[in-house]
Structure 1
Amino acid sequence: GVRKERPVADEETVQKLIAALETQSMKYEVYFKLVLATGMRRGEACGLRWSDIDWRHRTIHVQRTVVKLSGQKIFTKEPKTTSGNRRVYISKEMCKLLKTWKQECAWQTEQAEGQILTEDDYLFRQPGGDPMVPTTFTFRFKKILKENGLPQNLSVHSLRHTNASLLIAQGVDVRTVAGLLGHSQPSTTLDIYAHAFDKTKREAQEKLGKVMGL
């Protein structure tokens, strides 16, 4: 079939988006930055519990996804494939942001519900303990784009594609990108991001050309 180019944010748009996120309430800032930094799927980010974070090694264990079908209760399920169950890595900055968010959540939960936040709690929880659902973030994202004059064709899922494209632009190999995104086959990654890899290959060839003078 014909490969369609997926909308991704270029580096300049990413900078603008991050600035826009920093004007939002912390919940949204953290959620969207996390998706951008890790390339997680929307439902995977909604399914994260505090116990999934290994602070010492700065990793997050992605192992469930939140599903909400209209008229039905929220439920979580395991990732589509075994490779969906994976560890992603986060920077010191992201760690700091998540720690601040955890304190905020603990305070909110205590104030609003008289409850102590536990390790089993979701990072993005509704009062009463249910996880927040992907559509909440989808709507909010559209609003953020509109209010900040950012490209309207972007979506929360575009942040995943943006993450992958930036990795590829840094010269990260297919297998590694596939592992980080939770694709079971590197061929899937190659298929989706062929144009990004083509660009990297061209740049590699040009570097080689400079070295060889050919």
Structure 2
Amino acid sequence: MARVWIEDRETHADYQLAMENWQAAKRKGSKRQPPGRWRVRWYGPDNKGKALTFQKLPQAEAEVGALTARLAKGSYRDPKQGKTLFSEVAEEWHGALRKPVERTRNDYRELLDLYVIPKWGTWQVAAIRWEDVSAWLTELGKQPGKRGKVLSAARVEKVHLVASMVMKRALQAGRVHANPFAGHELAKSEDDDEHVYLTHEQLAALADAAGEYRTLILVLGYCGIRWSEATALKVGRLQLEQRRLRIVQAHTRVTGGMKLGPVKNHEKRSVPLLRSLVELVKPLVEGRAASALVFAGADGTHLRYGTWRPEFDAAVEEAGLSGLGITPHKLRHTAASLAIAAGADVKVVQLMLGHKSAAMTLDVYGHLFPDRLDEVADALEVGRRSAVLARTAEV
């Protein structure tokens, strides 16, 4: 077991010299503290000797107790590691990001530079306390953001997430023993993504009003793929005989424009295609190269959202759906609701939408799944009656 002990430096030559220098400086008006007489020494998990000095014996004894407990529990952290600046850990964390797509990494970089590092960059990671973070979060909700407006609850939540992930790295690297950014209650954001669930009839009306983009509207409304995934869909990834769309890429915004990248959550998937939609899609793919985009702009390149959105809004108005707040992205909600109404279970809906987990799907659409309590009770009733009848027959 690791040893921890206290060493009295009173008779040590280096301590005596340090005291003489301190006394001489004091006579000249210096207000610095005297050197520590009591040295706490110990061996860490790496079997390397370490030491800290204290002016008073009770302080040293308290440190011995704390170190002994942490070493016994396996929660020991080298005090010197805790002196690492937050900004240094932040750069390590951002530089080591592997899974997020380029756009997400750029978003993290912006949040670091605008809000996180200006506040915490010069702090030693071990010096940050939970109450410091709590006060900061309260202040964040009152200060203007990049565009001069007060930060929304959703924006504050993202800033907090980035700061917490940086400190999580410090925790995993052994620089701190707890994450002071964890366990904070954040303000709830107003749901600006109010769900809109179109009926089959409303979706058909919208598609008919969209003219040449009729098929695109129907694919969005029945397959539930994201706009960025639909505009990245290539001819070679349509499996029309199997009635499947293979979703493996999405367009993402980067500095200087758009580029193809992995899908959100890296959830590659096959999405079912209605038989009636197969016939509508065929003319868009026949005779075209496998690398060609199925839904492309007039010049055959990426269909840009900003260019296409006015046409979509015009179709919404012509279909008599103005006022519902329908957007291309919200057609995913329609796809989910129609699939659930058709009897799809949560796992099917999760795979169709590309959610990371079924739990996420339930969080978003759980209220749409029918209450099956009566169905379960009826099935149990059948089983009970069968058992009762069998028992009666035996008697």
Q: Shared topology, TM-score over 0.5?
A: yes
The higher radius of gyration belongs to: 2
Distance of 2:319 and 2:220 partners within structure 1: 19
Equivalence map 1:147-166=2 (5 Å) = 147-152=318-323, 153-166=325-338
Match of residue 64 from structure 1? 249
**Deviations along 1:145-197, whole A, 9 cap, x unmatched?**
12222143111112101111122223322112111110111111111112213
- Are 1:124 and 2:295 matched, yes or no? yes
Q: How does 1:40-119 map to 2 (within 5 A)?
A: 40-68=225-253, 72-83=256-267, 85-103=268-286, 117-119=288-290
Q: Is 1:24 aligned with 2:196?
A: no
Q: Which amino acid aligns with 1:44?
A: E
Whole-angstrom distance in 1 between the partners of 2:242 and 2:226? 22
Q: Kindly tell me: are residues 145 and 24 of structure 1, through their superposed partners in 2, closer, same or farther at Cα, counting changes over 3 Å?
A: closer
Partner of 1:205: 373
Aligned letter for 1:164? A
Partner Cα distance (2:310, 2:271) in 1: 26
Secondary structure of the residue aligned to 1:192 is: helix
Gaps of 5+ in 2: 1-187, 383-395
Tell which deviates more after alignment, 168-177 or 182-191. Answer: 168-177
Number of residue pairs matched? 192
Percent same amino acid among aligned pairs? 23
**How far does residue 127 in structure 1 lie from its aligned partner after superposition?**
4.7
Q: Is the 8 A contact 2:295 2:303 kept in 1?
A: yes
* Pairing partner for 2:343 from 142, 150, 171: 171
Amino acid at match of 2:327: S
Rounded to whole Å, the distance in 2 between the matches of 1:66 and 1:89 is 21
Which amino acid is 2:263 matched to?
P
CA 1:6/1:207 → structure 2, altered by over 3 Å: closer, same or farther? farther
- Counterpart of 1:167 in structure 2: which amino acid? A
- The range that moved more, 169-178 or 156-165, is 169-178
State the Cα distance separating 1:119 from its structure 2 match: 1.5
Q: 2:79 maps to which residue?
A: none
Per-residue CA shift, 1:57-107, capped at 9, x if unaligned?
Answer: 1111001111346x8232111112232x1000112211110012335xx6x
Give the structure-2-normalised TM-score.
0.44
The alignment yields a C-alpha RMSD, in angstroms, of 2.6
Q: TM-score, normalised by structure 1?
A: 0.78
Query: Where do 5+ consecutive residues of structure 1 fail to align?
Result: 107-116
After superposition, the C-alpha distances for 1:107-137 in whole angstroms (9 at most, x for unaligned) are xxxxxxxxxx312110122355421123334
* Structure possessing the higher relative contact order (Cα contacts under 8 Å, 6 or more residues apart): 1
